[in-house]
Amino acid sequence: MNKSILAGALALSLGTVATNASALVIDITQMNFGGPSPASGVVDTANMGTTFNGTFFSAPWVATTLSTQTEGTFNFAGTSVQGDYDYTINLAMGETAFGTYFTWSVNPDIPVVAVFNQDGSAGQAVPMQIGPFPGQAPTFQGTVSAVPVPAAVWLFGSGLLGLVGVARRKAA
């Protein structure tokens, strides 16, 4: 009886790990805004506040992630130092959006939406609504830094452990 309870508890704990295993982490390598320019940093669907940065017109910039969503309708709205903004984007299958605030030169908190495909390549371009370049649509690209383990693998493994526990119990 105790082994079955232990096997069930182990299966349950492995099943809960699956939620965190699906996070998308992208190492940013480039910003495309009127031409490519190098960029660096990380965006992570599991950790808001991650930053990435680069140089634009010889002035450094840094972006901080405030919200994210994978597929479906992404809403990023609020008020920054630059003014009011309200982005509503329909993401295609496999696209992930990150709502960010850019600080560039003397322009703090410019709301920008960065969209990526599952492989880290640039997704759809989203025009900026406010800030020094309204109507312009920067894109970003990078590489996926870790391949997440699908939830199905975790559940399959926990099921196998449960079956091993039941088989051992019957054999005893």
Nearest partner of 104 among 55, 141, 48, 67, judged by Cα: 55
Per domain, the residue ranges of the chain are 1-22+148-172, 24-146
Write down the pLDDT at residue 126. 95
Which region, left, alpha or beta, applies to residue 160 given φ > 0 means left and ψ of -120 to 50 means alpha? alpha
Q: Which amino acid is at 89?
A: I
Write down the pLDDT at residue 37. 86
Mean pLDDT by 10 residues, the chain (172 residues): 50 44 80 86 86 86 92 95 96 93 91 92 94 92 70 68 76 74
Nearest partner of 88 among 119, 48, 129, 146, judged by Cα: 129
Write down the pLDDT at residue 130. 95
Write down the pLDDT at residue 122. 92
∠ Cα 93 54 110 (to 5°): 70
58-89, pLDDT tens digit by residue? 888 999 999 999 989 999 999 999 999 999 99
